Amino acid sequence: MATAVSRPCAGRSRDILWRVLGWRIVASIVWSVLFLPICTTVFIIFSRIDLFHPIQWLSDSFSDLYSSYVIFYFLLLSVVIIIISIFNVEFYAVVPSIPCSRLALIGKIIHPQQLMHSFIHAAMGMVMAWCAAVITQGQYSFLVVPCTGTNSFGSPAAQTCLNEYHLFFLLTGAFMGYSYSLLYFVNNMNYLPFPIIQQYKFLRFRRSLLLLVKHSCVESLFLVRNFCILYYFLGYIPKAWISTAMNLHIDEQVHRPLDTVSGLLNLSLLYHVWLCGVFLLTTWYVSWILFKIYATEAHVFPVQPPFAEGSDECLPKVLNSNPPPIIKYLALQDLMLLSQYSPSRRQEVFSLSQPEETAFQTPKSSQMPRPSVPPLVKTSLFSSKLSTPDVVSPFGTPFGSSVMNRMAGIFDVNTCYGSPQSPQLIRRGPRLWTSASDQQMTEFSNPSPSTSISAEGKTMRQPSVIYSWIQNKREQIKNFLSKRVLIMYFFSKHPEASIQAVFSDAQMHIWALEGLSHLVAASFTEDRFGVVQTTLPAILNTLLTLQEAVDKYFKLPHASSKPPRISGSLVDTSYKTLRFAFRASLKTAIYRITTTFGEHLNAVQASAEHQKRLQQFLEFKE
Amino acid sequence: PHTNKFAVALLDDSVRVYNASSTIVPSLKHRLQRNVASLAWKPLSASVLAVACQSCILIWTLDPTSLSTRPSSGCAQVLSHPGHTPVTSLAWAPSGGRLLSASPVDAAIRVWDVSTETCVPLPWFRGGGVTNLLWSPDGSKILATTPSAVFRVWEAQMWTCERWPTLSGRCQTGCWSPDGSRLLFTVLGEPLIYSLSFPERCGEGKGCVGGAKSATIVADLSETTIQTPDGEERLGGEAHSMVWDPSGERLAVLMKGKPRVQDGKPVILLFRTRNSPVFELLPWAGPQAELPTSRCTLSMPSFHVLAQCLGGPRNPLLGVEALFMTCPSLLRHPQPLPLGTLSQGHHLFCPTPHIPTS
């Protein structure tokens, strides 16, 4: 692709991204900043807890709230939240990246972008912990305090000592920030799951708030415990460094040093550190959840562009072009919703190919009646790639499927490193939206003889002599390495993860299926011009082919086993079971069409095998 | 909802599936399947049955072509959420995508996505749990009845609800018109049928239920005495459950047995209805036009009656297939009564000659 063409494309995609998502991002940031005073108030109240003097406790807390320095801390914390939100925005993904092997997981964590993310989060964590420590007042507020011990010189020369509690606070903050970032990537928290039902944003937020607070409390407890262990062993390093750098003394008489067991068992310190952790995690999770809620809200794309300039955003254009993934997801979600709930928009869909259309709309009219058929046609291509693993298995049968997976894993070791597209390569299909040049690249990197290169009908290139010598050497090295257990430990692919990776963008296809089947079912009564019904044979053909491919895929060893489900956790793991949702929605889509049309379907042109399957669906025998 | 199959839950915690076209009766058992309270077939599928149990919901996927009489536990998917037990009411969305479940202990209705096993709780309100869920056939509204004198109507687009306090007692039963624009319901303790209309929705993309301001009484089912060729008969009383056929033309009301009426036997009353342009509810005059109401009287010598009324989609004339079974104890096999089942739904066989056949 020429760069001259790609630059306007990139510019257009950023443009449409900003137009659709812009106000959502800004609104979510504003709301997370507005939530901050509530969090801070609760934090102040809990940090001054004094159960024996409740009235004084509450009045002290509220009087502290009105003091001027708290306003300064509000501003500082707002800046922190804004920075965290910006990171949320930069790192989100609608398609989860699932590492298939341990090496890929390590690669994901030590990727430079992720390292920067972790570093910034650690720094922000330290800033927040500093604010929290200062707001707490008391003995935790300052890093440097005058020493209280008497010295042998007799003169009360004010020596400055290191306040180890404050240092402990700062380091805990940094540790929590770093752990948050680590868990963010390991648990795929940058994945944006779309809600299964549409609800008003406030209701969604209210429902998740309680779970969020509970989760923060528990996680803070674990992090404090981990950090205490870390500090016990390694706490002397920062202590020594700070005290020599700032020329401070360590006062041993006021309190015990913290890197001992007796020092660490200071309940007041632990309580305040835990509370600081809860405050930090709650505010960060709130900004994350607000971003998720705002970003996954349904967006209404106009079916017919009202003006010529708005044509970029209209539904057929978005579905047929290659916009950023989230725009495509939102468009497909909108298609699904309009096909079920909006009779007037459905009428627009069904009416687009009227002869009295204006001239500039006519080129698009042929696209609109089948906005989803192109994606679905591609889906069927995608699925025919899914069926090629059956071709691979004879190659590996003497060794069992696990060895076969490992062999396939070795072949893909270079390509599986940190890239979201790579897990697909084990199942040897280029991803749905890759261009032709990428397809050629994957052919080169995949020297397995039974590849789908022939199955896909691509022409095999005549290998040159040097190329074949290089391939032989590569195979020899890989065979040698495969016998080393340590290498295998890192490179072996986890079958469940590979299967999840194949279906990681299935949500898009599920919506396309639902939208298409609802439109076809509605067209039985609402389509006056036969716009959809002329394409009915093609649609049925595609759906039945897809059904066959999915059935074949689910016969593979690990495909039909469900991963264990943890309920009540903040982390969303619905991407792990997307393949079942895909299979179920495909079946429901076919049934929807057969029950609506009934016996009329016998008049549709289809191959003999498809006729047989259709008959089975009509008799409810599937 | 598409084939002639029904499922019966027995007291021994097993579920049997009877099929009109085969003699095989698969019996479904699972270690978590205890105290089954509700069964629901999934629309737009061949054989997916949701079973509401004491501690969870089981989704059985039965192969329609299989000949086994004891499907393994592997065919069952377990959906559970802590605190949402016992599950007493289930409702599938007519589009087949979502399952609603309600429990009297948990005040929130849960919306499940069965394939990914995730659930979303709807906003909950005080006033006891939810006893019954009923989805309108067009998929737009849900009736949720509670043990108190309030019922709620939810709309399925943005999931907001409207609250309807009744005058006395809880909502006993309800049924929706096929296009979702009218709800007929009865209240415990009153022999009346109320109607609530829901005009077209106010705006697309926004959720609003849009119910009328108040419900109107459309039928009075108080006891009356009717002259029949056999002598005087008393009919009437409170309704136990109601079913509207999918074409919107017939309404069947199962009346509770009262000692003075028909010797305590339950009775089904059939009405002819029309929803557009105006709603009307008339007693159905069958071929015997001299009878004010067509009624079928059935004797049911048992104390556990499981009545399941299915609307047959291929049934233009008599839109009700009614099946009555006795399940008195664990030991005996449930047997259909001699006046029970229908094969294609065109006839309601009955020994008494009053029933019009069509």
Q: Which residue of A has its CA nearest to B66?
A: A621
- Does the structure show a pLDDT above 90 at A390? no
Q: Which residue of B has its CA nearest to A588?
A: B44
- Does the structure show a pLDDT above 90 at A283? yes
Amino acid occupying residue A121? H
What is the tens place of the pLDDT at every residue in B233-280?
A: 666 677 778 888 777 777 878 777 666 655 556 667 777 777 777 777
Q: Which residue of B has its CA nearest to A338?
A: B205
Q: Of B236 and A547, which is predicted with more confidence?
A: A547
In this structure, of A121-125, A579-583, B277-281, the range with the lowest mean pLDDT score is: B277-281
* Mean pLDDT value across residues A500-522: 84
Q: Of A147 and A451, which is predicted with more confidence?
A: A147
Residue-level length of chain B: 358
What is the tens place of the pLDDT at every residue in A76-122?
A: 888 888 888 888 888 887 777 777 788 888 887 788 888 888 999 99
> Residue A175: what pLDDT?
93
* Mean pLDDT value across residues A293-300: 87
- What tokens appear for A95 in the block? 């398609």
**Most confident by average pLDDT, A16-20, A174-178, A506-510, B23-27:** A174-178
Alpha-carbon gap: B160 to the closest alpha carbon of chain A (Å):
8
CA distance A468 to A460: 13
- Does the structure show a pLDDT above 60 at A391? no
CA distance B195 to A516: 35
Q: Do B117 and A577 touch (CB under 8 A)?
A: yes
Q: Do B96 and A588 touch (CB under 8 A)?
A: yes
* Mean pLDDT value across residues A523-546: 81
Give yes or no for a contact between A494 and A98, defined as CB atoms under 8 angstroms apart.
no
Residue A195 with chain B: CB contacts under 8 Å: 120
Q: Which residue of B has its CA nearest to A582?
A: B115
Q: Which residue of B has its CA nearest to A205?
A: B123
Is A239's Cβ below 8 Å from some Cβ in B?
Answer: no
CB atoms within 10 A of CB B344: 11
| Residue contacts between A and B (CB atoms, under 8 Å) | 89
Alpha-carbon gap: B274 to the closest alpha carbon of chain A (Å):
21
Between positions 559 and 578 of A, the ones with CB within 8 A of B are 562, 565, 567-568, 574, 577-578
* Residue B289 pLDDT level (bands cut at 50, 70, 90): very low
Option in A341, A518, A584 nearest B157 (CB) = A341
Alpha-carbon gap: B73 to the closest alpha carbon of chain A (Å):
14
Q: Do B96 and A198 touch (CB under 8 A)?
A: no
Is A265's Cβ below 8 Å from some Cβ in B?
Answer: no
Q: Do A621 and B2 touch (CB under 8 A)?
A: no
Q: How much of chain B exceeds pLDDT 70, in percent?
A: 67
Give yes or no for a contact between A224 and A277, defined as CB atoms under 8 angstroms apart.
yes
> Residue A452: what pLDDT?
36
* Mean pLDDT value across residues A12-16: 78
Alpha-carbon gap: B268 to the closest alpha carbon of chain A (Å):
30
Give yes or no for a contact between A416 and A422, defined as CB atoms under 8 angstroms apart.
yes
> Residue A217: what pLDDT?
92
Tell me the residues of B at the A interface, defined by beta carbons under 8 Å apart: 2-3, 44-47, 64-65, 77, 80-82, 95-98, 111, 113-118, 120-121, 123, 139-140, 157-160, 204-205, 207
Give the strand order in the sheet containing A249-250: A144-146, A160-162, A249-250
CB atoms within 10 A of CB A159: 15
What is the tens place of the pLDDT at every residue in A432-466?
A: 222 233 333 333 333 333 333 333 333 344 557 88
Q: Do A300 and B120 touch (CB under 8 A)?
A: no
Alpha-carbon gap: A120 to the closest alpha carbon of chain B (Å):
34
Between positions 343 and 402 of A, the ones with CB within 8 A of B are 344-345
Q: Do A588 and B97 touch (CB under 8 A)?
A: yes
**Most confident by average pLDDT, A384-388, A583-587, A604-608:** A583-587
Is A620's Cβ below 8 Å from some Cβ in B?
Answer: yes
- What tokens appear for B309 in the block? 């009324």
Q: How much of chain A exceeds pLDDT 70, in percent?
A: 75
Q: Which residue of A has its CA nearest to B96?
A: A588
Helix (H, G, I), strand (E, B) or coil at B83: coil
Q: Which residue of A has its CA nearest to B202?
A: A342
What is the tens place of the pLDDT at every residue in B128-160?
A: 788 888 888 888 888 888 888 888 888 888 888
pTM: 0.76
Upstream peptide bond of B64 is cis (omega within 30 degrees of 0)? no
Residue B115 with chain A: CB contacts under 8 Å: 577, 580-581, 583-585
> Residue A365: what pLDDT?
32
> Residue A570: what pLDDT?
76
- Does the structure show a pLDDT above 80 at B348? no
Average pLDDT, chain A: 73
Q: Do B98 and A197 touch (CB under 8 A)?
A: yes
Give yes or no for a contact between A80 and A128, defined as CB atoms under 8 angstroms apart.
yes
Specify which residues B6 forms β-bridges with: B18
